[in-house]
Amino acid sequence: MNKKAVYCGEGSFLLTILSVFSVFAVIFMAVGPVHSDVTQTAVVATAAADYSSGAHSVITVDPVGGPRTAQNDLLATISDISVAAHGTYFYRIERYYADNVAKFDINAPDTPIWQYSTLDDGETVSSNPHGLVFESSEKAYLFRYGTTRAWIVNPSTTTEDGFKIGELDLTSYADSDGTPEMENGVIADGKLFVILVRIDRDNSWAPTNTAYVAVFDTETDTEIDTGIDNPDGVLGIPLDIKNPSAIQYLAENNTIYVQGFGRYGSSWSGTDPEYTGGIVSINPDTYETTLVLDDGDDTDHPYGNIAGMAIVSATKGYFVSYEDWGDSTLYTFSPTTGDVGSTISDLKHKGIAGMESGIYVDKNGMLWVCNQTDAQVDILNTTDDTIDESVYTDLNPLKVVFCSEGSPDDSDDDDDDDDFCFIATAAYGSYMEPDVKILRDFRDTYLMNNLPGRLFVNVYYRYSPPIANYISRHSTIKAAVRIGLTPIVGIGYLLLHITAVQISVLLMSLPCLSLISWFAFRTLRRKKAK
């Protein structure tokens, strides 16, 4: 055989193979990162500074760095309102003596789907609904602050008769004024944890009674006996803090956090502030409580009253320090050790709202802070504690929740922990790690929109938390899990960042490439034979 011919034949083959790889390279290089189909939109409850009216705003969560787009002053109403969100829907709650909930689709934020009363027939006193916590799209818990019974509701109903589907009886927690003041709640590991403030409304709203967290099984809606001794003989968890208002569950370390503000001072009654608040953690399995952050005492209270809280990770959280009327400052702190970090420079001596009812980060890891001094939402980058963007809301922002589009069953409200990948978060150390985000996006895009995927996810969420807890305490196992997850992260990244068209091209190009290869190989063999 002629060497030149062989080399020519081999060269042609090599040239062909190189061409094939070039095609692949072009395909891959032409592939730009494709954003996940899941998009988030913030819904902000707002109120006029003089409380003469209220409304809501919707603001895009993207792009990071801004400019985000805001629609303000939607569907004006009274000022005593709050919001909750689940999937693509948000719910506007009108509270004292308005007693109703209205449901909206994020794609039509100024058109209510329905609006239902939160009063039972014959109820004459305002139910004053304060919070709405979602177990699923067909089941949620409505906390009616002015009554002794929380409602179990079906948010997917299309008739008012189908709205209320049950009750939780909290009468045993009522104090001398007749109501337990149910404020807020969170769901963790199949259990509902409800804050009961128990202030004495007949005595200038004094926090003279012990506050509790009642625990309910979300399957049976029966109260769980936590077995903790308490002077009131109730089944719930007594709290060492007064006036609890925010509650949040962190799946990363399987811990519930509750914040209380103690008691604000009043020039009218001549009372000084009471530093009986702070932040406690609760183990959702053992119900053990730990005082994580103490607001101090009468002589030493460096942060004033602790008026709000946001837990981002096991090592990063924020709290609101209240000094005087309209004068609050945002601090960082560690939810694990309770060590206080620094202030957020742009959020000092401002009127800060929203964090008294629990708040959470958006999909980009940004914390949305309600700045009432400047009538804007300050979007805080929790990585470096700088303000990513400030968005003007016209009226004063009261509370922020997030709707998610692209995954109808996904929930992004402040009481749902579905957004977490327990094992991955434990292995990588943070919910915000890029690899954890890839797995999360993969779950949202490929698992949650089909029945087998959802079944898998449900089983995963039911059984993985204790595994994740174990992993988080062993660094060697963490590393091993990270290695094991790497190929999955890689496949997830590829699948998330190649479009359907590109997949089709790839699939179509495979037989073409095979044909080219076969043809090239046959040509080479013929030449060799000659």
For other proteins, the binding residues (CB under 8 A) are: 47-53, 55, 73, 76-77, 94, 96-100, 102, 112, 114-117, 119, 124-126, 160, 201-206, 264, 266-271, 307, 322, 325-326, 328, 351-354, 356, 370, 372, 375, 392, 394-395
Of 356 and 389, nearer to other proteins (C-beta) is 356
Residue 102 C-beta: closest distance to other proteins, Å: 7
Residue 375 C-beta: closest distance to other proteins, Å: 6
Burial class (CB in 10 A: 0-12, 13-18, 19+), 75: middle
Of 57 and 255, nearer to other proteins (C-beta) is 57
Of 95 and 191, nearer to other proteins (C-beta) is 95
Q: For residues 141 and 413, give the distance between their C-alpha atoms in angstroms, rounded to a whole number.
A: 13
Of 24 and 325, nearer to other proteins (C-beta) is 325
Residues 6+ apart with CB under 8 A from 286: none
The DSSP annotation for 239-252 comes to: -SSSSEEEEEEEGG
Structure letter (DSSP) for residue 263: B
Helices (H) and strands (E) in the chain, counts: 6, 28
Residues 6+ apart with CB under 8 A from 273: 262, 263, 264, 265, 301, 304, 305
Residue 236 C-beta: closest distance to other proteins, Å: 25
Token duo for residue 97:
């003596």
Residue 277 C-beta: closest distance to other proteins, Å: 13
Q: Which amino acid is at 420?
A: F
Judge if the upstream peptide bond of residue 284 is cis by omega within 30 degrees of 0. Answer: no
Residue 259 C-beta: closest distance to other proteins, Å: 14
Of 121 and 229, nearer to other proteins (C-beta) is 121
Burial class (CB in 10 A: 0-12, 13-18, 19+), 386: exposed
Residue 149 C-beta: closest distance to other proteins, Å: 18
Residue 205 C-beta: closest distance to other proteins, Å: 8
**Three-class SS of 164-201:** EEEEEECHHHCCCCCCCCEEEEEEECCEEEEEECCCEH
Terminal-to-terminal C-alpha distance of the chain: 7
Residue 397 C-beta: closest distance to other proteins, Å: 10
Of 202 and 339, nearer to other proteins (C-beta) is 202
Of 266 and 450, nearer to other proteins (C-beta) is 266
Of 220 and 268, nearer to other proteins (C-beta) is 268
Residue 99 C-beta: closest distance to other proteins, Å: 5
Q: At what angle do helices 475-497 and 451-472 cross, to 10 degrees?
A: 150
What are 133's strand-pairing partners? Answer: 141
Task: Put residue 26 in one of left, alpha, beta given phi > 0 → left and psi -120 to 50 → alpha.
Answer: alpha
Residue 208 C-beta: closest distance to other proteins, Å: 11
- The neighbour count for residue 70, using CB atoms within 10 Å, is 17
Of 122 and 452, nearer to other proteins (C-beta) is 122
Of 96 and 460, nearer to other proteins (C-beta) is 96
